[in-house]
Structure formats: structure tokens, C-alpha cells
Amino acid sequence: MRKTFMLSLMLSGILALSFMMEGCKPGKPAQVRQIPLEDFFKNPEKARYQISPDGKYFSYMAPYQKRMNIYVQEIGKDSAVRLTSETDRDISNYFWKNPTRILFLKDTGGDENFRLYGVNVDGSNQKCFTDFPKVRTEIFDEMENFPDEVLIGLNKRNPQVFDPFRLNILTGDMKQLAENPGNIQGWMMDHDGKLRVATAIVDGVNTQILYREKETDKFKPVLTTSFKENVSPVFFTFDNKNVYAISNLGRDKAVVCEFDIANGKEIKTLYENPNFDVTGLNYSKKRKVLTTADYESSKVERYFFDGETKKVYDRVQKEVGDLSVNIPWASKAEDKFIVRVYSDRSLGAYYIYDKTADKLSKIADIGPWLKEDELARMNPVEYKTRDGLTIQGYLTLPNGYTMETAKDLPLVVNPHGGPWARDSWGFNPEIQFLANRGYAVLQMNFRGSTGYGRKFWENSFKQWGLSMQDDVSDGMKWLVDKGIADPKRVAIYGGSYGGYATLMGIVKDPDQYAAAVDYVGVSNMFTFMNTIPPYWKPMLDMFHEMVGDPKKDSALLASVSPVFHVDKIKTPLFIAQGANDPRVNKAESDQMVEALKKKGVVVEYMVKNNEGHGFHNEENRFDFYRAMEKFLGEHLKK
């Protein structure tokens, strides 16, 4: 089901894209090898492993003619079969539908109008099920108990909303199960494959849960709340009577609860964390029990409902040591599991854990050309803002430095996209690349970042370019005051909302930054809201309440639109943009470049005609980061 817990989660993709050596003494660290740029940004050899429902095969994605395609390999065998041969663009996502067929999504040139395809495990019978121009396909329910069917959403009838269709992947036949009246944002089935729950937006700024007992009944509202306070159904209880949900109803931090769906009432809280929102809930499809609840402190953590699941995690953790463990895929019999391990200095590896044999076998290293001891640690940090808020984030220092030994380093301030998302601990090729080139990198979860509760999220309302921007600046000044950052060699770089924060950073603090890199960022709040994808329009009133109404708050939005304040900018700027970006239209970058050139500010501009919201094609990534490296080197050199 498309989650609708808080608008922060529902809109988290609006503007988003994704220690030191012991005994080091003060002074200059040992020389660090400059790793080739391509090693950070080339496609992995193999990644995104999954296991077939019958446990006979595993699948993965790997490059074919520089594009990520799907491969399948029988467990215990040495050779794999390539199922797809896409050469224009990576496959976006895929999953096993049954033991013999895989479904995958792919768009054109980054337009995000995904089409759904199917292919057999031997590579035969590839078929596009949703071959409709300018139509986006969404997966509402994989319907794991129904091997030949899947619940999808299509905005074919109305570009602003998605109608639910039950698709037969053998015949291609689609049955529409309901007509979206114009405000439904998510649909959910029970374990018997009956469509019984919908989530909607009503009156522009309220969210609503609708329910029906049988598919022949009409949907009726059972709970209506402000979008700031919400209950997000995740899946039905195993008797199909109630639902398990993530809720912040009457509280600051989101919890896992059992919810009486027929009457719209919470029954009991199953898990809550006092400091962080619960962000995910999982269950055993074989044993019909809850397994884990996920939350994120400085790292991803989980609460175990189930002893059997904890035993599997503990068994794997014991063998892989300090690496972080995630076990996202299991065979239907739950006797074999795909295991992902990773760290801040490693892309990690994939394993298969055979529970019956109690054997953990490595199947692939994701980036074996990158060596951990040459990479930098990602340190959790926190600092206070000028108004007393605590901001958590991460500081990555060039390999060989510690917080105690780092002095007067060039710094790249890196606000994340979203903005209702967050930075997380783990391997980040951008951060490692910059650290390898000698830069300290600061990532901060400014107010509005998700996972820290409702109050922290609401602190960001109508604060784009204001206190949200102050949080970014305060992090930079904190490092300067500590002596870690050289105040004359500070750059700001971000993508999507982070690109907007980059532009506002050099508007508000023109003397603080020696260079800036804006990657698919917003420059004009008015034109941005006029060019959003049509399927965001039902959420526009909420967006106006969170960011500002172009009519009622026109003065506010004008004051935080960088394009209207180019007279304050004197920082050299590099802008990169995808021509087909459906979220941040190319006009956002075009008008900024034009205004800056008229003022005589140094601006470099890179446009890729076969990209959208961020560069996915390998050769375009190389071009972008090569240009960024040169640009930062010119402006941050001592």
C-alpha cells in the first residue's frame, strides 16, 4: 500500500534523490591514495539480490552495455542467465512474482512514467503490461498469495489520480477494482486478495481512512484527521479483521499499533520508541507473526517481536562482525534468506543464509575495487542551532584525521534532499569521493527531517530558506568555530531540496561560501509549484500549508526564491540539471543561470538530455562528478 503516514513520509520523495586511523597524531596524516573517480560512481558488478519464492534461484542486477539489467542464477550453480537487455536506461525496480516469472519497472529518459514488464526466468516471454504513453504505473500490492496476479495503480484515466487494477500476469488482462474519486492516495488488500482499505485526502489538508467489509460494499470513512496526525495501515492482521498500522495519533513519535479498521480506533500499542519514529513493520508470511519494527537513530535499528527472526539476525551478525546486517528477502518456506551486509566504508556484500544447513555463504561483493582501509569513517555528530534546537548529522573527515587532529580543512556542506527525508549512516559514494579528495563533509538532519517526531517535522513548516537554512549555516559555523573547517575554503553542495538549500545558502551567506554546486535544485517557488507532476496536485493544499501558498504567502515565497535575489550572490556556482526532470523542471535551472549571467556571476551549467531528477546513466555520473571535482578544486585550493 502507498504509505500515507504523515505528509512527511507521503511526500518524502518530492525533492529527494538516494575513524580515523587509530593512533593518528596531530598534524598532517599519512599520504592517502587518490582513488579513480570512476571507482566511486561506476555501476556495481552485481547488486540488488533477491531470492525466488521456491528458494531455487537468486536474482540480481548487473551491467549490460553500461545499463543495469536483471540476471538469474540457480543456487549452487556457477552461471547466470541475463533476462533483460535494456541499453537506453537502467531498470528501475524488479521483484519475483512467482517461481518462474519476474516483474520490473522502467521509465524513458528519467520521465518517471514507469511501465510494468514481465519476463520468465529463462529470459523468454518478455511483455509490457502497461504500454500507455504518459502514464505512470505504481505497485500497490505484490499479492504474494496469488502467484499470477498483482495490484497496480494507473493514472491513465486522470493524470492526477491512480485507479486500482488487478492484473493477470499470464494473460495481461486487467480488471479495474474501483474508480478513484479524485482524492484517494493509497489502496490496500487483505491477505485474501480483497481490496478493503483506501487512504484519501479530504478538504485539501486532512487525511482519511476508508473501509469496506466486502468488495461489493461501498467504501466508508472510518477516521479523518489533520495531515499532521495520521494513522498509516501497513497490512491486515492475520485473521483479516483489524490492521497493523504506524500511528502518531495523539503523540509525537510514531508507534506500531493494532487498529480496529471497521471502527477507526487504536486497540493497543505494540511497540514505541521514546526518541524516534517507527518507520517500518515486517512479518513472517509463512508463520503469520510480526517479526521486526524499524527505527533509525544514528544508524538503522530494529525491535524484534519474534524470537526466530532474532536468532537468524544474531546468527548472521556473529559471523560478519561489526558490519550492519539487513535481511530483506526470504524464500516462501523461509529456509533460505538473502543477507545484505554493509558499513560506512564499504558497499558491502550479499550472502545466502541456509537455515536448514545453518550455513552462511557469500555470493557477491558489491564494490570489491574499493578498499575499506582507504576510505573514511562517517561520524555521527550533533550541534545546537541559534534557537536552541539539537541537530543530528554526520561528519566525514579525510582518511587519517580525527575530530581532535583535523584543523583548517576545506569543507563541503551537504544538505540532503526531500526535504522530508533524512541522511543515514552507511556507504555514500559522493561523501567518500569528496573525503578522498581531501574535503571534510558535513551532512545534517535539519528541522523537518523525518524520523525525529512530529514536532521536529512541524518546525520546518513555512521555513524553507529561513530556520531550515539557518540549521545548515549553523552546522557550518560550528565546524569553523571548532577549528576543523577553514572559513575561507567552505563549499555547499546539494541535490533536489539540497540544491535549493545550496542556492539559498549563497543568497543568505554570500561571504561564507567559496563555491556552490546545485544539482537539480529549485530556484523559484512559484514556477516550481506550477510545474509539479499532476499526481502531486491532490496534495498541493498540504504543500501550501507546509511551504507557503503562492497567493496568500506570496511575499514569503518571493523572499525565499533564490532567483529573485541574484544581486546578493557572488559565490562561483555550478548547476547540473536533467532535461526530463518531472519534479524540478529544467526551467528552474534555466532561469537561475540566465539571471546570474546577466549579473556577471561565474556560473557553469551542465544539462543532460537523457536524464530526469538526478543522473542515472553511468557516463553522465562520470561527467558530473568530474566537473564537480574540477570546480571545487579551482575554488577551494589553498
Helix (H) or strand (E) holding 621: helix 618-636
Q: Which residue is it, cell 536552541?
A: 388
Q: Which residue is it, cell 505512470?
A: 136
In the set 496, 523, 561, 589, the catalytic residue is: 496
Cα 476 off chain centre by: 24
Taking the C-alpha atoms of 224, 227, 233 and 234 in order, what is their torsion angle to the nearest 10 degrees? 170
Half-sphere exposure of 46 (CA within 13 A, CB side): 18
Q: Which domains does the chain have, with CATH numbers?
A: 42-182 (2.120.10.30), 375-636 (3.40.50.1820)
**Conformational region of residue 372, where left means phi above 0, alpha means psi within -120 to 50, and beta covers everything else:** alpha
Q: What's the pLDDT at 14?
A: 56
Is residue 470 annotated as part of the catalytic site, yes or no?
no
**Conformational region of residue 250, where left means phi above 0, alpha means psi within -120 to 50, and beta covers everything else:** left
Cα–Cα dist 210/624, whole Å: 46
Q: What's the pLDDT at 409?
A: 98
**Is the Cβ–Cβ distance between 277 and 450 less than 8 Å?**
yes
Q: Determine how β-strand 278-284 pairs with β-strand 324-330.
A: unpaired
Query: How close are the terminal C-alpha atoms of the chain, in Å?
Result: 52
Closest CA to 152 of 105, 196, 120, 109: 105
Q: What is the 3-state secondary structure (H, E, C) of 9-49?
A: HHCCCCECCCCCCCCCCCCCCCCCCCCCHHHHHCCCCCEEE
**Is the Cβ–Cβ distance between 153 and 162 less than 8 Å?**
yes
Give Cα separations from 115 to 94, 193, 427 (angstroms). 12, 23, 30
Q: What's the pLDDT at 30?
A: 57
**Is the Cβ–Cβ distance between 543 and 583 less than 8 Å?**
no
**Is the Cβ–Cβ distance between 460 and 415 less than 8 Å?**
no
Helix (H) or strand (E) holding 82: strand 80-82
**Is the Cβ–Cβ distance between 33 and 401 less than 8 Å?**
no
Which residues touch 607 (CB under 8 Å, ≥6 apart)?
576, 577, 578, 579, 586, 589
The DSSP secondary structure of 514-529, one letter per residue, reads SEEEEES----HHHHH
Is residue 554 annotated as part of the catalytic site, yes or no?
no
Cα–Cα dist 62/552, whole Å: 50
Q: What's the pLDDT at 32?
A: 81
**Is the Cβ–Cβ distance between 305 and 271 less than 8 Å?**
yes
In the set 416, 565, 613, 635, the catalytic residue is: 613
In the set 59, 473, 581, 616, the catalytic residue is: 581
Digit-coded pLDDT (tens) for 297-317: 999 999 999 999 999 999 999
Residues of the chain with pLDDT under 70: 1-30
Half-sphere exposure of 619 (CA within 13 A, CB side): 9
- The amino acid at residue 479 is L
**Is the Cβ–Cβ distance between 568 and 510 less than 8 Å?**
yes
CA angle, 265 then 269 then 273, to 5°: 135
**What cell was used for 115?**
511501465
Give Cα separations from 473 to 294, 414, 423, 504, 520 (angstroms). 31, 11, 17, 10, 21
CB count in 10 Å sphere of residue 170? 14
Q: What's the pLDDT at 637?
A: 85
The DSSP secondary structure of 333-388, one letter per residue, reads TSSEEEEEEEETTEEEEEEEEETTTTEEEEEEES-TTS-GGGS--EEEEEEE-TTS
Q: What's the pLDDT at 24?
A: 35
Running DSSP on this structure, what letter comes out for residue 219?
Answer: P
Is residue 191 annotated as part of the catalytic site, yes or no?
no
Q: What's the pLDDT at 601?
A: 86
Strand partners, 402: none
Cα–Cα dist 143/73, whole Å: 24
Give the three-class secondary structure for 308.
Answer: helix
* Residue/partner pairs of 19-23 with CB below 8 Å, 24 or more apart: 19/376, 19/377, 19/378, 19/379, 19/397, 19/402, 20/377, 20/397, 20/399, 20/400, 20/401, 20/402, 20/403, 20/405, 21/399, 21/400
Helix (H) or strand (E) holding 218: none
